Structure 1
Amino acid sequence: MLILYYNTKDMGGNTVFQNTTQPPIQAGPVNPTPQVESQEPSFPIKGKIIKLSIGILLFVLFIYLIINFVIPRFGPKKEETVTLTYWGLWEDKQVMQNVISDFEKRNPNIKIDYIKQDPKEYRERLATRILNGTGPDIFRFHNTWFPMFSDMLLPMSSDTIKKEEFQNNFYTVIQKDLVKNGAIYGIPLEIDTLSLFVNTDSFKAAGVEVPKTWEEFAKTARSLTVKDENNNIKSAGAALGTFDNITHAPDIISLLLLQNSANLNNLNSTSQNAAEAFNFYISFVKENNVWDEKQDPSILAFAKGNLSMFFGYSWDIFIIKNANPNLNFAIYPVPHLPDKNISIASYWVEGVSLKSKHQRESLLFMKFISEKETEQKLFSEQAKTRLFGEPYARVDLAESLKDNPLLYPFIIQAKDAVSSFFASDTYDNGLNFKMNNYLGDAVRSVLGNTSAETAVEVLDKGINQVLQQYSKSTPVSN
């Protein structure tokens, strides 16, 4: 056993070991201290993992923000799909859809929702919806309606159609109707002109030629009129002279007025010309006695074979053939005065609402329908459902209809056609309706022995009232 004695004393910084007298301390048996392995606490490692995880999340978030918010601002924007509402008349959706599909293929981000409208109260419904912001983007309107819609129509941009292109491709009457102050306000898909329908069997039986002048027309009408023993008309030579039972009476009277150089916007300035036209029109009842108020509506009388000459538009062919498929008839240009090869144009136009929220896309559609191929495609689709499509509005397509004897006469008159606010079958309850009412009153007053001069004076006042009500320039060209 080892006994140790020690004492430590600081002496100038030296340490010495000396023996002491203190009792010895006996050390007991020494047991070795168990060795415990050294372990570091666990929380520092977890902290590193958490920091690493947060770093990864922040990096992922940063990449996400870059990809989804920063890069798209510098790259091309993905166009959203736009749906345009298109209000049409007359044509069923199945006819229009194949044409519309061609446009949608060319413009995959634009869809067209075509809705065929009921013509009854269409003009009023259209105007109301446009004004309250719930109207269509694209809509159909009659060529005489510009005064009623001028503040609702979006002018075509030069990207849609250039003025030179419009002038070269469309008839003069269309340019006068739709170009205002240098701006183009619509694109027509068709044109129609007032034409002369003749019963070929009646003409053959009487051995007469189709008249080309109004003098010839009056003579031919007398020779074709058949009366009974009581001098009642059994078969009329022509339908002129009354108003209420003559289909398209406003258009026919307009034709006579304009061919005789009457100014529809100011009849009093050409009162003598207007009075002459009225007297000629009334003479078919009062003097020639080839028509009267007892006859059926003229289109029905013609379909029945009881009228030899009828004035109508291309769409009347379908009505006549539906009523009498076996009737033999042909179409010719209207009679004229010397150097006055004028007919009346009546047609429908596609326009864009000034309140459309998708004007750019709507104008793209206008550009599409102005193209030659589009009109041809539409005509083809229409011809699948009826005898023929609507006569082309484009000048460069006229000759393609040359071999169609029923349709071509309407086209060849288009180059000399003019418009009139005295227009039938527009169902507008507006400008046309009010003008026609005044015109009808004038005809009835002359039939009741009022002088034509007085009737013209009263009619002129009525015209001025309507024009002031709409206070826009009219589409009439003299």
Structure 2
Amino acid sequence: MSRKKWLATLGLSTMLVGSMLAGCSGGEKEKASNDPVKEEDKQVEITLAGWGSSPEETELLEQVLADFQTKHPNIKVNHEVIADQYMDVIKTRLIGGEGPDVFYLDASEAPALIQTGAIEPLDEHIPDDFDVEDFEKPLLEAYQYDGKTYGFPKGYSTLALFYNKKMLADAGVEVPKTWDELREVSKALTKGKDVYGFGQNPELARTVFIGESKGGEVVKDDKANFADPLVVEAYQTYVDQHLVDKTAAQPSDVGAGWTGEMFGQGKAAMVIEGNWAIPYLQNTFPDIDFGMAEVPTIDGKKGTMAFTVAYVMNAASEKKEAATELITYLTGKEGMETWTSKGFELPSRKSVAEKLGYDKDELRGALVAGAPYATVWARGTNLPIVFNNFNNQFVSAYLGERPLEEALAEGQNTANKEIDSK
């Protein structure tokens, strides 16, 4: 369905979905329908929708919602978990006028959905003391369009360098601070095909900051631009570590499912991963002694990726006041402190990260340090098309099947033809 048709359908489908009922006390006649009802006597029901998470995260969210309802007894929150095909379900319900009042929205999906008009701008709803400036700037900007803010990030993760302390010590090398150092250190850490110095993720979502490190743009004017010579040059070093140096490998090369597993199994001495890898390694590979550092700089420039999800409001909601109260509590300092207290997500508010000590944490400190300069995984309304075509062609070059420049040129042409034909 085209965006115009999508928006038109959404507009036609908006409807009033509730009615106010007036009750009567024992023995008294029913009140006339036009009698005023005190605001504090009303209870508003709103729906919060999100996807499934771990039992520990679900329990934590339920705690935050319970705290909210204690402070707002006139608002009842119905928490709905959409287990499969989350965005498809959300879009279908929005089109049908049955969308939730508040819901999760990944940054990568935000540009397209915002431009349909389905998301309510929040600027005029939030209280003056909400302290918008407290949010990490790149995370907030992912939900801003045309001067308006459409969502507040509930948490995030950047990427950082995970390194095996014993392997580095045995090889007599230091933690690399630059990409040139990473390349050299990887040579010292590689042991044939048994252990690679560096575990790689050869796909766009993990490497946009690398592709743009030389000054090029992977996406430009909402179209694929990864055949840009500056982008090709930036990615060539990454590919050469695999094909020329033979000191880097992807997880499938060693029978692993992802770089976290590759690292935990001792098949890579260093990987670039996110916050989610910390509990995984601690629980699955408790004997591994690992450290974390910021991603090595490229040509003196810091870079990393950030992945974030925000709470947004359905523009068709008839309960915007209650929805605002929920969003501002969940992303306010009190609610966010509870939600991020276990470290499943990092606080998108700087003050909360400092209060919880994550900015100085031995492991997560590197992730927090990357937030101000991170590249958020969000690149316009055509990101799925760009993403798929980049990955299809980049992997062929990564495997040595064709030159990188040729592969990316074909991927860009195919992506833009698909975009033009929409």
Write the distance in 2 (CA, Å) between the matches of 1:255 and 1:86.
33
What's the counterpart of residue 348 of structure 1?
Answer: 309
SS in 1 for 2:181: helix
Whether 1:183 aligns to 2:142 is no
Shift of 1:318: 2.2
> 2:149 is aligned with what amino acid?
I
Write the distance in 2 (CA, Å) between the matches of 1:364 and 1:154.
14
Tell me the alpha carbon deviations over residues 52-89 of structure 1, each in whole angstroms, 9 at most, x when there is no partner: xxxxxxxxxxxx89x9449944x845643222111123
Tell me the alpha carbon deviations over residues 73-131 of structure 1, each in whole angstroms, 9 at most, x when there is no partner: 4x84564322211112325442112211222122211111112332x411212211221
CA contact (8 A) 1:194 1:251 kept: no
Write the distance in 1 (CA, Å) between the matches of 2:317 and 2:33.
32
What's the counterpart of residue 263 of structure 1?
Answer: 217
Closer/same/farther in 2, CA of residues 262 and 289 from structure 1, 3 Å limit: same
Q: Give the alignment partner of residue 279 of structure 1, picking from 236, 240, 247.
A: 236
What's the counterpart of residue 461 of structure 1?
Answer: 413
> 2:403 is aligned with what amino acid?
S
What's the counterpart of residue 397 of structure 1?
Answer: 352
Closer/same/farther in 2, CA of residues 355 and 164 from structure 1, 3 Å limit: closer
What's the counterpart of residue 269 of structure 2?
Answer: 308
CA contact (8 A) 2:390 2:412 kept: no
> 1:358 is aligned with what amino acid?
K
What's the counterpart of residue 137 of structure 1?
Answer: 101
What's the counterpart of residue 376 of structure 2?
Answer: 419
Tell me the alpha carbon deviations over residues 421-452 of structure 1, each in whole angstroms, 9 at most, x when there is no partner: 489xxxxxx96554332122222332445332
SS in 2 for 1:450: coil
Shift of 1:415: 0.6
User: How do residues 25-36 of structure 1 correspond to structure 2 at under 5 angstroms?
Assistant: none
Unaligned ranges ≥5, structure 1: 1-63, 228-232, 241-245, 424-429, 471-478
> 1:390 is aligned with what amino acid?
E
Whether 1:159 aligns to 2:125 is yes
CA contact (8 A) 2:167 2:269 kept: yes
CA contact (8 A) 1:262 1:270 kept: no
Shift of 1:414: 0.2
What's the counterpart of residue 82 of structure 1?
Answer: 44
CA contact (8 A) 1:259 1:340 kept: yes
Write the distance in 1 (CA, Å) between the matches of 2:226 and 2:267.
39
Closer/same/farther in 2, CA of residues 443 and 77 from structure 1, 3 Å limit: closer
Write the distance in 2 (CA, Å) between the matches of 1:291 and 1:407.
25
SS in 1 for 2:296: coil
CA contact (8 A) 2:227 2:409 kept: no
What's the counterpart of residue 204 of structure 2?
Answer: 250
Q: Give the alignment partner of residue 442 of structure 1, picking from 393, 397, 404.
A: 393
What's the counterpart of residue 238 of structure 1?
Answer: 198
CA contact (8 A) 2:142 2:376 kept: yes
Tell me the alpha carbon deviations over residues 140-174 of structure 1, each in whole angstroms, 9 at most, x when there is no partner: 121111133212211114331569932x1111212
Higher strand share: 2
Write the distance in 1 (CA, Å) between the matches of 2:181 and 2:391.
26
Whether 1:204 aligns to 2:169 is yes
What's the counterpart of residue 12 of structure 2?
Answer: none
Tell me the alpha carbon deviations over residues 369-404 of structure 1, each in whole angstroms, 9 at most, x when there is no partner: 232111112223xx2xxxx34111002223332342
Write the distance in 2 (CA, Å) between the matches of 1:335 and 1:261.
17
Q: TM-score, normalised by structure 2?
A: 0.82
SS in 1 for 2:87: helix
Unaligned ranges ≥5, structure 2: 1-27
Aligned-residue RMSD, C-alpha: 2.8
Aligned residues: 380
CA contact (8 A) 1:253 1:281 kept: no
Closer/same/farther in 2, CA of residues 467 and 176 from structure 1, 3 Å limit: farther
> 1:330 is aligned with what amino acid?
G
Write the distance in 1 (CA, Å) between the matches of 2:199 and 2:61.
36
Identity %: 20
Closer/same/farther in 2, CA of residues 465 and 106 from structure 1, 3 Å limit: farther
Write the distance in 2 (CA, Å) between the matches of 1:465 and 1:354.
32
Shift of 1:269: 8.7
Write the distance in 1 (CA, Å) between the matches of 2:34 and 2:331.
39
Larger Rg: 1
Q: TM-score, normalised by structure 1?
A: 0.73
Closer/same/farther in 2, CA of residues 433 and 180 from structure 1, 3 Å limit: closer
> 2:396 is aligned with what amino acid?
S
Write the distance in 1 (CA, Å) between the matches of 2:129 and 2:214.
32
> 2:253 is aligned with what amino acid?
K
What's the counterpart of residue 124 of structure 1?
Answer: 88
SS in 1 for 2:340: helix
